[in-house]
A and B are shown apart, each in its own frame.
Chain A
Amino acid sequence: METRDPMFDALRIEMDTLDTPRGVEKELMQAFARQFPRKRRWYQALPAKTWALGSSLAAGVLAVTMTVSVLMGPQPARTGVPADGSMSPAAHADDDGLFIALDSLERIEQEPAPRMVETEVPRSSLAALGLPLTPDNAGDAVKAELLVASDGQPLALRLSAVN
């Protein structure tokens, strides 16, 4: 039978308290991040033209419509689709959803620590940005990811569940 020598008891107890210095894990995780670089976020992959079209006007429109919708409750259905059926120049649609730029490309690029906030936006409040609105869907909420600067300023919006 394999038995352990009591001569090592004190050493066993003492060694049990030791772990690798914390810095090692940090360095390894940094190495992992270099080995497997993260997929570019949707807002980083948008064409520059889309961002260029985004403007403080769009931010203003969105902020106003969102504030109004919160304060006034559901609004009567109306359509924001332009006569020719196209979207607002501040919006850009592709396979991943509808993107709405709320600030300039330069502002986005210079933001040191952007963060994502998941939210829901009343569909009616987005009509002014060109989101198609019908009497049937006017009361819906749209799932959205809001890109926010470190100072709380919204930078961009992605609507991920738009029909």
Chain B
Amino acid sequence: MGKTTHTMTASAHFPADADLLRQMRSGAADAFAALYRRHQGPLYRFALLRCGAAEIAADVVQEAFMGLLTGRFQFDPLRGQLQHFLFGVARNLVLKLEEGRRRHVALPPDDDEDAPELPDEQACPLGRVLGNETAEQVRRALSLLAPHYRDAVILYELHGLSYAEIADICQVDIGTVRSRLSRGRAAMAKRLAAWHKLDMVQA
């Protein structure tokens, strides 16, 4: 995404995340604010597409940064980028929220690549999120993917992450990421084509 790219470029000129984290831990409020402003956008957009609700996405961002502040979520700069760590935290928080739904809707386990893709209607409980019609249709099609496909598609297509980075965030191997991405995109294209055909008939 444009903002993500911009953020990555900008961070090369401004204090590194590790420096800001160190300052934050010694009580520098401006360092914490800088970290938040640098990462909140991508994190919010990921959470929003992942869960489909603006309020929940905001809560996820808040909880992720609160965890960073209190030490509940421990980031180790030697193990990767802060943004990827935060994506992982947000993903886990959303998964936790979805656990309640999983009790009622049987979703395929994450490692079952051959299982049929079940539409996750519960994942898109809310109404319109975006103003642009085309974008909203794509978002709706995305929200109907099974969660483990959605993770890969969002991180790859919307955040420009590599297979390796997504594999690290989702704790799966690169082959699995590639497979999920391919299946997710195919399912979305199929659904969008069906909706388009329906629109043509209704028109």
Contact = CB atoms under 8 A, between A and B. Distances in A.
Nearest to B153: A8
B148 interface: no
Interface string B3-46: 10000000000000000000000010100110011001101110
B51 interface: no
Q: Please classify the interface of chain A as helix (H, G, I), strand (E, B), loop, or mixed, using the class held by over half of its residues.
A: helix
Contact of B139 (A11, A21, A28): A11
A56 to B, nearest CB: 37
Contact of A8 (B45, B58, B69, B158): B158
A14 B132 contact: yes
Interface residues of B, number: 44
User: Closest 10 A-B residue pairs measured CB to CB?
Assistant: A14-B135, A36-B27, A10-B134, A20-B44, A10-B135, A11-B138, A8-B157, A20-B40, A11-B135, A14-B132
26 contacts: A2-B163, A5-B157, A5-B185, A7-B188, A7-B189, A8-B158, A10-B132, A10-B135, A11-B130, A11-B135, A11-B138, A12-B1, A12-B157, A14-B130, A15-B49, A16-B1, A19-B40, A19-B44, A20-B62, A24-B62, A25-B33, A25-B37, A25-B40, A28-B65, A32-B69, A35-B69
